[in-house]
Amino acid sequence: MSNKIRLGIIGFGAEGAAYADFITKGMVPNMVVGAISDVNPAIEAKAHELSVPFFSDYKSMITSGEVDAVVTTVPHYLHPEVGIYALQNGVHALVEKPIGVYTKQAQRLIQVAASKPELKFGVFFNQRTNPLYKDLHDLITSGELGALRHSSWIITNWWRPQGYYDSSAWRATWGGEGGGVLVNQAPHQLDLWQWICGVPKSVFAKAQFGFRRDIAVEDEVNALVSFADGATGSFMTATHDLMGTDRLEILLDKGKVVVENSKDVTIWKLNKPEQEISKGMDMEAVAKLFRGQLDTSTFMSKETKSYSSVWGEQHSEVMRNFAAACLGEEELMAPGDQGIHGVRLANAIHLSSWTGQEVSIEHFDEDEYLEQLNNRIRQEGKYSERD
């Protein structure tokens, strides 16, 4: 292996082409494009432009010896299948999110990866490289702000018009895509939320299927989750809000963070745990509080920060880190097996919406989920059932 990883790009649509572009522009210094595969023969000309081999079949590319690693920019259901084939043939796998549409499928990929410790299995969570969320993850997981109490995320700036859904027959179907906003747009937030706040234990949700779009799957989701130790969370996403909101709030024992538009961050830090402040306050202070005369600034500091982001930087950084991990130089920022949490939460939200019951995430019934998913695929009548 040279000191540059030769990446095979599987699926050369808008995303695959963008990744090639980042590499050829030098934004990923430890990577070169090794080869391209696509089911569309017209893509061969683009491979020639890049002076790399073209394969009409991803399996031939993986076994060709031309690539050290692959990235899977193909429809969601194919992610695990392609990842498994790469790993089984000695090629590192950078798998697009989600790592599977349903947990049973994702677990198969994770098991194969676990049996190949010499190979790297990453998931393309580019938002984890966003400095804002990296800093937030580090702050919250450091424990400086204490234990989590509550978090809410309203993320509705995923507006998609009907024409987007109508652009490909597989889109927004149960058999072709396996879900709506939970599977396609929101996996980034489902990952970041758990990466920062921890993995929820249970969820009650109302997904709205074809609520304001003519589609089979969900265009809106409301979920109420329980984290560990009594902490709670609320998650709302939709593809029908033209004036989209992106607002994350995290309340902890020793502080609070509000993030707006994935850009502006406000951090409050308490000088001791809130319960101690509460217990230490005498009746005179309480009376002052009700008269609006209590100076709460003596307990807390407030800081505001603004982050900017450059298009492509996050994606390039995922690829650079992945290549560095393949070269044994760094740890993966987004190990593939962590992708299971977002898949399970999305599945649990579907299942809760279908059953009207709170669903355990800790003891998630993946067989029940798959049965319910297959019922919908069968009713749709366009695609084969899954196993």
- What tokens appear for 116 in the block? 């190949």
Q: In degrees rounded to 5, what are phi and psi of residue 281?
A: -90, 120
Q: Which stretch binds its own copies (CB under 8 A): 191-199, 273-281, 363-371, 375-383?
A: 273-281
Q: Which stretch binds its own copies (CB under 8 A): 3-11, 54-62, 104-112, 148-156?
A: 148-156
With vertex at residue 346, the alpha carbon angle to CA 178 and CA 133, rounded to the nearest 5 degrees, is: 120
170 within 8 A of 294, measured Cβ to Cβ = no
Question: What are the residues whose beta carbons fall under 8 Å from the beta carbon of 287, sequence distance 6 or more?
Answer: none
Q: Does 18 bind its own copies (CB under 8 A)?
A: no
Over its C-alpha atoms, the chain yields an Rg (Å, rounded) of 23
Q: Which stretches of 30-104 are assigned E, i.e. beta strand? A: 31-37, 54-55, 69-72, 92-95
- In the bound state with its own copies, the residue whose beta carbon lies nearer, of 25 and 378, is 25
Minimum CB–partner distance for residue 279 and its own copies (Å):
5
Q: Does 309 bind its own copies (CB under 8 A)?
A: no
* Residue 248, beta-bridge partner list: 153, 259
Burial class (CB in 10 A: 0-12, 13-18, 19+), 116: middle
Among 17, 18, 78, 258, binds its own copies (CB under 8 A): 258
- What tokens appear for 127 in the block? 């938002």
Question: What are the residues whose beta carbons fall under 8 Å from the beta carbon of 49, sequence distance 6 or more?
Answer: none
Q: Which stretch binds its own copies (CB under 8 A): 122-130, 136-144, 147-155, 331-339?
A: 147-155
Q: Rule CB under 8 A: which of 338-357 touch its own copies?
A: 356-357
Q: Rule CB under 8 A: which of 188-247 touch its own copies?
A: 204-206, 208, 211-213, 220, 222-224, 226, 230, 232, 234, 236, 238, 240-243, 245, 247
Query: Which residues of this protein are in contact with its own copies, per CB under 8 A?
Result: 14, 149-150, 152, 154, 156, 159, 161-164, 167, 204-206, 208, 211-213, 220, 222-224, 226, 230, 232, 234, 236, 238, 240-243, 245, 247, 249, 251, 253, 255-256, 258, 268, 270, 274-275, 277-279, 281-283, 285-286, 289-290, 296, 299-300, 302, 356-358
